[in-house]
Amino acid sequence: MHALKWILGLVLIFVAMALFFTLRTPTHLYAISGKFTDCPARPSCVSSIATDEPHAIAPLRVAGDPDTALTLLAQHVSGLPGARIEHIKPGYVHAVFVSPTMRFHDDLELLAGDDPVIHVRSISRFGYRDFGVNRDRVEALRAWLEAEQNRPTADPPEG
């Protein structure tokens, strides 16, 4: 019986920590710190400014104005399952994704660069591994943006 109390106590501590780290807004976000940061050592993050293999991912290439592309991306992200936009500033979008089962929170940051790119960072708030969820999310956004930018526009009627 004594061992069961210890196990229950440890489970409660784990759940409390998970809730704390998942529900609080991280202070390392660009919206709060003003710095677009790299990834921590754990593999549950990807960033276009990271240089190490598990974290590095290419920025989103933009055809035209990055701010226009960022607006399109924000509209698209806001319609994705489990996503909500938390911060929008000129040249910056922060969205939170909530997993359907465990209700874990991931942060997605998009920052318009000087070149025709949008820098990206996607990070899980809790846990060591993300099983590729953050990388897959960024690659899905990349594919959507490329398809959107390559979509033919309607020709005006000839008159």
Domain ranges of the chain: 25-150
Average pLDDT, whole number, for the chain? 86
Topology classification of domain 25-150: TATA-Binding Protein (3.30.310)
Strands (E), the chain: 45-47, 60-61, 83-89, 92-98, 105-112, 117-124
Res. 7 pLDDT band, cuts 50 70 90: confident
Q: Angle at CA 134, nearest 5°, toward 138 and 22? A: 135
Task: State mean pLDDT over 129-158.
Answer: 87
| C-alpha span between 51 and 57 (Å, rounded) | 8
